[in-house]
Every structure is written in C-alpha cells, then in structure tokens.
C-alpha cells in the first residue's frame, strides 16, 4: 500500500498527514445497461445578462487585446468547446422577464438602452442580442436555449420571436431577420416559457401560471420540421405543490418543467457564507445542502410520475450550483464569487445525481458560465482562469449520451460534529465504443477510502484515470496561480478479477475509463 500511495494521482495525500489512512471501505455493484441514456443536455450552461457574465465575459470591448470574432472572446470559446457544452441558456434568469427581444436586433448603435433592474441597476446597451447570442452558439457548436418573457412581455412578443428565428418562408418577421443578416432560419428548439414565475418572473400562483403557460405555448408555433421543446417554469427546491399544480393542469404541449435549487453554504439567503477561507463546519454544511438535490429530484419526479407515468416530460434543472456571498469589494448585484475545490465536489456530486436520474432529468444548466456564481471561467482583463468546477465538467463529459449503468452502493459516512453524510457517490456509463466510465466522489474531508466495484459480466482489461483534488477543500485557482487545482493522471485503480479496486484520497474526484 505504501508503494501505491506514491502514484501521481495521490501525491496530495502526503500533505494530509497520517489521518488519511485507508481506514474505510466502500463497495459498489454495477449492473448492465437497460438502454437508458444520459442526455448530453444535463451538462448545459447558463449565460444571463448579469454582472460580468455577458459583458466583460463572453462579449468584450473591441479594443481588448485578445483574439476575438466580432467581440466574442475566442479563448473562452475554445475552453468551452473542449468540455463539449451541449446547450447554453439565455438571456436569463430574472433578466429574461424584463427583456424585450426587439431591443437587441438591428444596427447596434441604434438599439435602445435599458436598466437592468434585477442585477445591479446598470445600463444595458443591448449590443449583445439575439443574433450575437446565436452566433456565439454557432462558435461553441452548442444548442441555444432561449427563455421568453412572460413576466412583463406578451404572448405576441414571444410568438413573434419564435417566428423571427424559425420561419423559413416569406413574412415581415423573416424578412426582418434576413435584413439583419440571417436569411435562413436559426431553428431554435429549446424555449423556456418564463422564468421563476413564482418570484421575479411575475409573483404568480401555480394555478395562474399554468393558465399562462397554456396561452403562451399555443402561440409558440412549430415551423417546418423544427419541433419546439417548451419548458414550463417549475418550482424552487421543495415547492412540491407547484409541480403538482402545473403537471395536473398542463396536459399537453410541454417538453419539460424546470427546477431551481442553489446550494447555500449556510442555508441563509441573507448571509450565505464566504467563497474562500471557510471552516470544515461550513464545508460539511455546504455538502449537506448540496446533497439535498437527490431529495428534490426524487420527490418532484414522483409527482410527475402521477401525471406522466411514461416519463415523456423532462425534469429540467436549469439553475443549480453553489451560491456564496459576493467577493468583498465587488458589486453585490454582480454575484461574482471565487470557486474552490469544495465547489467542484458539489458539482461532481450533483452531476452524479443527475446521471443516476437519467430517466427523468434530461437537461440542466449550471449557474453560471463566466464570472457569475459557480462559474466555469473567471476573467481579469485579458487573463482567464479555469475553475475547479470547469475541470469537473471536463472529467464528466464522457457520460454525455452514454448508456447509464445502474449502481448499488454500500458506503461509509463522513462524520463531523455528530452529523453524518454518505462519503462516496458514483455514476457509471457505457459509451458507443463499449468503454465504461466511472465518476467517483469522496466528500470526506479527512479520510481516504478503499473503493471496490463489482463489474459483473462486463468485459474490460485496462483502466486509466484522472483525479481532481488538493491539499485542502479551500484551495482555489487564481490569476497568479491558475493551475493550483487541475486534473492529473490517476494510477491508484487496478483490476482484480472482474472487480476494480480504487484508492480514493480524501476530498477527491476520480474519473476512470475501463476498456
């Protein structure tokens, strides 16, 4: 065992001292696939007009000395293409329900300005609008997910937006699209019918929203062979009544219902806790709150099963992630926060939950892509850094559109201050080439774990892997030390008959490929 500890993937273990002895063990049984596919759209991202997410994020000053296409930063595009983001949600969020799409088309110098009342009270110049967003999606090779304005908009406004983007015939709106530089339709498929209609999107009751949804949805037309996937505003967290009412009253013309849940370190919206320099108590509480996603997905899915036993309606978790206090000295309305190994552990755990609920969860969006909340990328003028969470999405991209392999787990607890959490979570899949991928998370802050999995009758002969870990869960990447937390090769997995044995360091994320 001492020789095993010398491998590259677990060098960080030495910094943890004697407490990281492999004193605990976890077991898993991995079954055969039953044809269920992990939708690639679970790995979607979110870009709202909020803080430095769009402006000074994706869309920069024309004079900034970075490689650009128009004003889109191409180093960011390249980084996101590497992790194969499948869809990008826009323009919000709360911003969507005060956004009027006609303000963001045409000659940029002639576009009207507006006040972003939700996020910092700043002036929005509308230089980044519909065409700019869709050109960004083209650069990213990703599908657009547009959220329509139900809160302050009209049925006609959303109906016209759909026609403007998707109609491949002669009409005033398709002519306008051609005049603005795009004769062919964009064929946008994913459409959100409002956002958080129980709150910033209109303070509606679920009964009222269900009626509004049906009214908006019937006028959002399919054009040609492009069939819209309409997504209803769903609940926040444990608002099970909202799901019940919407599923009961909206009988057709619905592709998905959205769920929003943010992991707050403290659980208190007034003081969410810092992104850095936190204690183990704060770490434990953050993971405890993050693991509630399993409860929410399970219970909302059970309600959906009552009205949709064939699981035709998707559960769309289109806002999720860790939300801390904003970084000191920044505009609190911009929601800029650092990103630590703790956040990566929450992200990996959440993605394992989504994968294992692939029968119902078909799309999800991390909040948010750049410079906002649990971002993948942070920027500082011409510099960018990839956060620990970015590296999680890099590790997990192997699950996209792969067949889910069911798992039974027997794992030890991570104990702190008399409280317990399951220390290990896992998801597994088999891709089109027959390769098996496992993503394994050990959230225990102090103890390494000996993990063994029975692969049954699966055929494989070699294993390779990567690991994301550090000396402490507070570790971050900075503009002076951008590679403090990064992926490295993992060599502490070995074949034992048809079982696999893995030495999991404390607070680590491991991805394995068996072929």
CA pair distance 97, 88, nearest whole angstrom: 18
**What are the tokens at 144?**
């657009």
Q: What percent of the chain has pLDDT over 90?
A: 94
Element (H, E) at 438: strand 436-442
Lookup: tokens for 39: 């939708």
Q: For residue 113, what is the DSSP state?
A: P
Active site residue 196: yes
Model pLDDT for residues 436-468, shown as the tens digit of each residue: 999 999 999 999 999 999 999 899 999 999 999
Average pLDDT over residues 153-170: 98
Two tokens, residue 142: 């990703």
Inter-axis angle of helices 155-166 and 206-219, nearest 10: 40
What confidence score (pLDDT) does residue 23 get?
Answer: 61
CA–CA separation, 369 and 377 (whole Å): 7
Whether 16 shows a pLDDT value over 60: the answer reads no
Buried b (16+ CB within 10 A) or exposed e, 138-161: ebbebbbbbbbbbbebebebbbbb
- pLDDT of 20 reads 46
Taken in order 87, 91, 95, 100, the sign of the CA dihedral is negative
Task: Establish whether the linkage from the previous residue to 252 is cis, with ω within 30° of 0.
Answer: no
Helix (H) or strand (E) holding 214: helix 206-219
Q: Are 503 and 22 in contact (CB under 8 A)?
A: yes
Q: Which of 38, 83, 89, 32 is nearest to 400 (CA)?
A: 38
Question: Sorting pLDDT into bands at 50, 70 and 90, what band is 498?
Answer: confident
d(CA 193, CA 218): 11
Res 10 pLDDT > 60: no
Active-site position among 124, 132, 196, 294:
196
SS3 199: coil
| Contacts (Cβ under 8 Å, ≥6 apart) of 32 | 405, 456, 457, 458
pTM for the full predicted model: 0.94
DSSP 203: -
Per the annotation, the verdict on 415 as an active-site residue is no
Given a cut of 60, is residue 1 above it in pLDDT?
no
Average pLDDT over residues 81-103: 98
Domains present along the chain, CATH in parentheses: 4-35+405-514 (2.60.40.1180), 40-400 (3.20.20.80)
- CA 275 to CA 329: how far, in whole Å? 14
Q: Whole-angstrom Cα distance, residue 46 to residue 92? A: 8
Closest-CA residue to 275 (of 197, 327, 201, 331)? 327
DSSP state of 223: B
CB 20 within 8 A of CB 447: yes
Task: Give the mean pLDDT of the chain.
Answer: 95
Q: CB–CB of 282/322 below 8 Å?
A: no
Check whether 515 has a pLDDT greater than 80. yes
Give CA–CA dist 500/453, Å, rounded: 5
Asked if residue 6 has pLDDT above 80, the reply is no
Q: Are strands 424-430 and 436-442 parallel, antiparallel or unpaired?
A: antiparallel
- State yes or no: pLDDT of 426 exceeds 80: yes
Q: Per-residue pLDDT tens for 49-73?
A: 999 999 999 999 999 999 999 999 9
Calpha distance 371→50 (Å, rounded): 9
- Measure the CA–CA gap between 233 and 204, rounded to whole angstroms: 11
The catalytically annotated residue of 98, 124, 143, 319 is 319
**Is a pLDDT exceeding 80 seen at residue 247?**
yes
Looking at residue 431, what is its pLDDT?
Answer: 97
Spatial separation of the C-alpha atoms in residues 439 and 400, rounded to whole Å? 13
Do the beta carbons of residue 119 and residue 49 sit within 8 Å? yes
């Amino acid at each position: 065992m001492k020789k095993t500890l010398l491998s590259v993937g677990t060098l960080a273990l030495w910094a943890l001292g004697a407490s990281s002895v492999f004193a605990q063990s976890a077991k898993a049984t991995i079954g055969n696939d039953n044809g269920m596919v992990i939708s690639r759209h679970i790995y979607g991202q979110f870009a709202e007009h909020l803080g430095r997410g769009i402006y000074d994020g994706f869309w920069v000053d024309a004079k900034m000395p970075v490689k650009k296409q128009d004003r889109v930063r191409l180093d960011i595009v390249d980084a996101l293409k590497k992790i194969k983001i499948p869809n990008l949600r826009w323009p919000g969020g709360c911003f969507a329900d005060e956004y009027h799409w006609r303000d963001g088309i045409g000659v940029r110098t002639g576009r009207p300005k507006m006040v972003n009342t939700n996020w910092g009270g700043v002036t929005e110049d509308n230089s980044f609008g519909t065409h700019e967003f869709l050109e960004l999606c083209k650069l990213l090779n990703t599908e657009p997910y547009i959220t329509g304005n139900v809160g302050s908009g009209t049925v006609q406004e959303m109906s016209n937006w759909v026609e403007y983007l998707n109609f491949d015939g002669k009409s005033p709106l398709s002519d306008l699209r051609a005049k603005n530089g795009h004769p062919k339709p964009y064929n946008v498929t994913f459409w959100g019918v409002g956002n958080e209609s129980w709150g910033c999107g209109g303070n509606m009751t679920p009964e009222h929203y269900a009626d509004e949804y049906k009214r908006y949805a019937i006028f959002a037309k399919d054009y040609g062979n492009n069939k819209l996937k309409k997504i209803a505003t769903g609940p926040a967290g444990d608002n099970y009544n909202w799901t019940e009412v919407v599923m009961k009253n909206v009988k057709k013309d619905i592709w998905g219902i959205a769920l929003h849940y943010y992991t707050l370190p403290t659980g208190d919206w007034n003081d969410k806790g810092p992104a850095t320099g936190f204690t183990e108590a704060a770490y434990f509480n953050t993971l405890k709150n993050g693991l509630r996603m399993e409860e929410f997905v399970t219970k909302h899915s059970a309600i959906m099963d009552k009205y949709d036993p064939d699981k035709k309606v998707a559960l769309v978790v289109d806002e999720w992630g860790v939300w801390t206090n904003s970084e000191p000295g920044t505009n609190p309305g911009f929601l800029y926060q650092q990103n630590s190994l703790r956040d990566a552990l929450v992200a990996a755990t959440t993605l394992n939950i989504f994968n294992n609920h692939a029968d119902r969860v078909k799309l999800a969006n991390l909040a948010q892509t750049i410079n906002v909340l649990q971002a993948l990328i942070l920027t500082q003028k011409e510099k960018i850094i990839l956060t620990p969470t970015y590296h999680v999405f890099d590790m997990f991209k192997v699950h996209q559109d792969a067949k889910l392999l069911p798992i039974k787990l027997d794992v030890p607890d991570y104990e702190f201050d008399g409280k317990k959490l399951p220390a290990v979570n896992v998801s597994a899949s088999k891709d089109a080439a027959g390769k098996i991928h496992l993503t394994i998370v050990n959230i225990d802050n102090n103890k390494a774990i000996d993990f063994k999995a029975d692969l049954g009758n699966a055929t494989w002969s070699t294993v390779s892997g990567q690991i994301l870990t550090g000396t402490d869960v507070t570790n971050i990447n900075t503009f002076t030390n951008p590679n403090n937390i990064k992926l490295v090769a993992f060599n502490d997995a070995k074949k034992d008959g048809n079982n696999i044995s893995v030495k999991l360091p404390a607070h680590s994320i491991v991805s394995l490929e068996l072929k």
